[in-house]
Chains A and B, each alone.
Chain A
């Protein structure tokens, strides 16, 4: 059953990727896009497929995997099913900084928006970490409460900036706050790659520790887990994944929160096994969500975060109702 699910996941991911390349836009019909993928095609269509659709696909894969992996790690780390990059204020910090940059900077300097988002995510991560430290060190509950507070503050900041933003800038701000992969480029993917690969490696390395932590900090410590070290590394790795995602795609909700639950319902609760599957499921979900976001009303684009929620929540509800 689980092997069949693994196979199904790989098939869905590959199918989603090929569909995104073949049906991914209004300018190149599927036949011509397929010709390009087969090694032929005109230079114009090659530009469309390799210059626009391929970076967008790669960014969707990276962002989806990052968010889902960060969500799965944070839920295990904090033993809280509601934990995700959004709840902990990481996405909010990135979005607030990106919004501020988008509103304030001249158009020629908008290339630094992703860097601002990364800085904002890092700042909110540091703030949450600092706030979570009580006299007895950090605790899961304090960390979540600190995240909720930071999230509320960043939401207020974003709403204030939305109210004050000059109207031509509003679509860009909405792209940041509701998620968009429309401006993906090969350069962005290259920039994001280390923020995906290194934290992923760290989290997979700590998969067993996270599994033990999910059963409780004391029992994990009794079984040899260095709780403080693991907590710091995992939190920073999850923050790096989330910060990278929000820097280039804005806030894409749902993926980080629900994908791990969805995977648990299919593959069980073993965290070490769950992490890579959550990453692949999140990647597939984001690719499909983005495809729908810009193809359903093509050439009009919808915010990808809205679509991933619309796509995933009903599926999640069905699985939840059928679970024992």
Chain B
């Protein structure tokens, strides 16, 4: 394997993480990690002609981030394409091993997959000590866009001891009713910490829909956006950050509400399971 072309930021990170960074011949415009990516030429992920012109031995794609028509076209034109479908942390470890296999770095892929699995298992075990809370993973505040079941964000909530209140059957990232923020069952909102989201959050808490956010009845846990936004090898860091944020939040709740103050019968899950629309 001499020429590797990743078509999304997360598989770019994956290629570098298994030790194939020196084989990567180009990256997509959104790829910005690791810093070595900066030296690479850029290629649009939907430009089949430009992709083939780079003569890759293998193209790394993702089912969520790449146009399936482009992937199909590349395959029809003889390119070898490996498409990853990371919708859970379990699949993340598998993706590391798969990347190692297809890039001829099986041992490195196995090592990375095991490391990812261990970090995820450790963070999940830590979260078991925390009380379950109903939550949403907010992707955007205005309009309110949340992560639904079937996404790696949903899996992250679950592993951190949170029950996702987002509807189960309306796409991966549905736009939902702003009133959901006032649902008394909602206790935690998780959001990636980036400037745009912080600014739109500031507008939301100033509106009637943000009353429970402003009062502190719903806690917002911000986690590093660069770790949480991509289902790549750094994703376990987002889960660890979320569990750490939850631990700090629960300690604060205990200080305010007194020891032994778990969730009330009304708010503790699984009394209220995720919604089905």
Contacts and interface: CB of A to CB of B under 8 A. Distances in A.
Interface of A: 24-28, 44, 47-48, 51-53, 106-108, 110-111, 168, 171-172, 175, 180, 182-183, 185, 294, 297-301
Contacts of B209: 51-52
A143 to B, nearest CB: 35
Interface string B161-198: 00000110011001111111111100000000001111
A323 B266 CA distance: 56
Contacts of A111: 203
A25 B145 CA distance: 16
Contact of A300 (B140, B142, B170, B179): B170
B182 A299 contact: no
Contacts of A24: 179
Contacts of B166: 299
B277 interface: yes
Nearest to A25: B179
A182 B143 contact: yes
Contact of B176 (A28, A44, A300): A300
Contacts of B277: 297-300
Q: For chain B, which range describes its interface: under 10, 10 to 19, 20 to 34, or 35 or more residues?
A: 35 or more
Q: Which of B178, B200, B275 has the most A CB atoms < 10 Å from its CB?
A: B178
B190 to A, nearest CB: 16
Given A52-B208, A183-B143, A298-B277, A108 B176 contact: no
Contacts of B212: 44
A42 B196 CA distance: 34
Nearest to B217: A44
A37 B142 CA distance: 28
B211 interface: yes
Given A44-B184, A52-B182, A175-B143, A300 B175 contact: yes
Nearest to B212: A44
Given A26-B183, A110-B200, A298 B177 contact: yes
Nearest to B175: A301
A26 B144 CA distance: 14
B139 interface: yes
Contacts of B143: 171-172, 175, 180, 182-183, 301
Contacts of B184: 27, 44
A300 B167 contact: yes
Given A26-B177, A51-B208, A110-B142, 18 more contacts: A26-B179, A27-B177, A27-B179, A27-B181, A27-B184, A28-B182, A51-B209, A51-B211, A52-B182, A107-B195, A108-B199, A108-B203, A172-B143, A182-B178, A294-B177, A299-B180, A300-B174, A301-B174
A172 B277 CA distance: 22
Interface of B: 139-140, 142-145, 166-167, 170-171, 174-184, 195-200, 202-203, 207-209, 211-212, 275, 277
B248 to A, nearest CB: 26
A47 B184 CA distance: 12
A286 B170 CA distance: 23
Nearest to B199: A107
Nearest to B204: A183
B140 A171 contact: yes
What 6 A-B pairs have minimum CB-CB distances, sorted nearest first?
Answer: A51-B208, A25-B179, A107-B199, A300-B170, A108-B199, A299-B177
B180 A26 contact: yes
Contacts of B183: 26-27
A50 B181 CA distance: 15
A47 B200 contact: no
Contacts of A297: 167, 170, 277
Contacts of B167: 297-300
B100 to A, nearest CB: 29
Contacts of B181: 27
Given A27-B182, A172-B140, A172-B143, A299 B203 contact: no
